[in-house]
Amino acid sequence: MGVWGKASGIDLTEIDIENPPVGIWGEDWQEVYLGENKIGYSRTTFSRVGDHILSTNLMSMRLGRGAIAVSMESEQSTVETLSGTPLSFTQKLLMGSIPVSMVGEISGGLLRVETSQAGNIQSIEYPWTEGALMLWGLTRETIRRGLEPGTEYRLPMFSPEVRLDAPVPTDIKIGEMESFAIHGKSVTGQKVTTVMNLSLGSLESISWINEKGQPLKTVLPMGGMELILYASDESNALADFVPADMFGFTLLEVSEGIPENAATVTYAIKFMNTLEESFPWPESYSQSILESDTSGAHLKIVRANHESLRENLDRGAERVDFSRFLSGNSNMNIEDKKLIELATKAAGSNSSSIERADRLRRFASRYISRKSLYVGFATASEVALNPVGDCTEHAVFLAALGRIEGLPSRIAVGLAYVPNFQGKENIFGFHMWTQFYLHGRWVDFDAALGESETSPVRIAFYTGSLDENSLFDMTLPLMRLLGNLKIEIASISY
């Protein structure tokens, strides 16, 4: 939400950053809206215990997927020195039905993270970037640098829900006073722009703050809608929620349908507002870039053919380091005994890599027996215990099974075509699937739609191993692009 989206109840002008008060010295409540609907609340507190600053941030939201409401909750606590040096953090995430707990400790130039879910514990170490800042350090820096219009600076923000391996370079720009509306009433505040430079694109938010440095309103564009945080008190922040349809506004209509027997589809994608630089389209066995610039691209998507793939042996592939596509992370605990048991059962023996990938895909499609939108973003371990979910659960679960079986895997995030959805025809909507590296190429496997030799109806915008970025990091930039996209079918071949 940006540096300025977390301190609306705290008078920043009264805080001595070298000697903050002992005990609880700040509490902040905010209402969270998506479009016109209030979907949740946020609460942040600061306190001093001895020579340490303890901060907590709780974000609770209810999002709609069609007529279904999905609850998502994140609670993060940090321990930092008075000078803003991070010491440790804890985070609890509830994005499925089983909470994920994460504890991180920083010492000796390393960040040691222990993730636990339903009794499964995974420990991972990352190099720690000296100078990275958590919540108190970020707040301290904003107080120190002041609110003079035209002030610009960059902070290394460490945000475990976004990524664990490195801080996110975050740019802050202090603007002029502006008038804006809060619940229909005109208010004046100083504009502050925050840009998180994520590994898969930037994420910009705009805040308006009062003379005490307290954010009155923060806006984060998301496709055709906006995520908005309003300064509030406890009673109003906890008042009734109306889940907003998170995915309904992501639907894009196209002028013609795609026949089931299509072999190749060429898509013309246009950005209605020109980008600053050419979009980094990923390439794979099925997706190739015909042309691309800041205004859009022409992409060719072909139907997968495993027989032809077998003939395309890439002898140079053995020299590529696939360690990050074979290792575990907080979303895929490949040391989970239940996941290992399922992968071994599904893959069988004496089969080629393509056959193993196909068997794993078929197993994942069957194993997740309840195709449900009630789950937010469940981990592979959670799916193993509770086989419920939609495309995100299918994609992460299948990727984890592949890694256990020695198949390099990554997640693809993009759009997929369906003939009919929510009363609309010929539309593209948000989708996630798995890619395995086979015979020198990244090859699509879609457990949610039940396809191994995939049809040419998917457009990948981002891919990732999930070690250098989280599902949040991969998903949110695409949500922002959706309000700036137009898709046309340039040609179809059979």
* pLDDT of res. 157: 95
pLDDT < 70 stretches in the chain: 1-10, 12, 64-70, 95-98, 222-224, 242-250, 312-319, 370-376, 422, 468-473
Rg (CA), the chain: 23
Contact 347, 360 (CB under 8 A): yes
3-state SS of 42-106 is EEEEEEEECCEEEEEEEEEEEEEECCEEEEEEEEEEEEEECCCCEEEEEEEEECCCCCEEEEEEE
* pLDDT of res. 399: 97
* pLDDT of res. 429: 86
* pLDDT of res. 4: 41
Q: Rounded to whole angstroms, how far apart are CA atoms 359 and 140?
A: 53
Q: Which residue, among 336, 306, 341, has the nearest Cα to 441 in the 3D structure?
A: 306
Reduce the DSSP state of residue 448 to 3 states and report it: coil
Contact 206, 195 (CB under 8 A): no
485-493 and 120-127: which strand pairing? unpaired
* pLDDT of res. 10: 65
Q: Rounded to whole angstroms, how far apart are CA atoms 139 and 12?
A: 8
Contacts of 151 (CB under 8 A, 6+ apart): 145, 172, 173, 174
Q: Residue 173 has which token pair? A: 């720009």
Tell me which H or E stretch contains 41.
Answer: strand 37-49
Q: Rounded to whole angstroms, how far apart are CA atoms 356 and 144?
A: 57
Residue the block writes with tokens 């949110």: 476
Reduce the DSSP state of residue 125 to 3 states and report it: strand
Contact 98, 386 (CB under 8 A): yes
Percent helix / strand / coil, the chain, rounded to 5: 20, 45, 35
* pLDDT of res. 1: 41
Span 18-33, pLDDT tens digits: 999 888 888 888 999 8
- What is the distance in angstroms between the CA of the first residue and the CA of the last residue of the chain? 46
* pLDDT of res. 27: 85
Contact 109, 128 (CB under 8 A): yes
